[in-house]
Structure 1
Amino acid sequence: MAPLGGTAVQDHVALAEIELCGELIIAASAAEDRLSLESIDEVLRVADEKDT
């Protein structure tokens, strides 16, 4: 049985990955065709990292 003290542990890296996956799923579902690599990079904010 779980403790009642509210000792939930949050893995911030996992939460960030889940958020990015959600954004990618939303973009893919809104697209008429497959997402291009550039579109995927934009959704995942990879282009921002390349520019720095």
Structure 2
Amino acid sequence: MHVAPVGGTAVQDHVALAEIELCGDLIIAASAAREDRLSMDCIDEVLRVAEEREESFGG
């Protein structure tokens, strides 16, 4: 049996952690929504799509 050593050898995948955080944000928004489904605009807002576009294109 192999047991991971103790002492901070865990590897963090920052992309995966960011995706998990965004999924959590979507779940929270969906649970708070007054409608059955989130609109595409609402999803974009939760995922901060406009902010990403501005950063990517220097806006």
TM-score class, shorter-chain normalisation, is 0.7 to 0.9
SS in 1 for 2:24: helix
For structure 1, list consecutive stretches of 5 or more residues without a partner in the other structure: none
Higher relative contact order (CA 8 A, sep 6+): 1
Q: More displaced, 20-29 or 3-12?
A: 3-12
What count of residue pairs does the alignment treat as equivalent?
A: 52
Identity over aligned pairs, percent: 77
Superposed CA RMSD in Å reads: 1.2
Task: Tell me the TM-score normalised to structure 2 length.
Answer: 0.78
Runs of 4+ off more than 2 Å: 49-52
Q: Compare CA radii of gyration and give the structure with the larger one.
A: 2
Task: Tell me the TM-score normalised to structure 1 length.
Answer: 0.87
Aligned counterpart, 2:33: 31
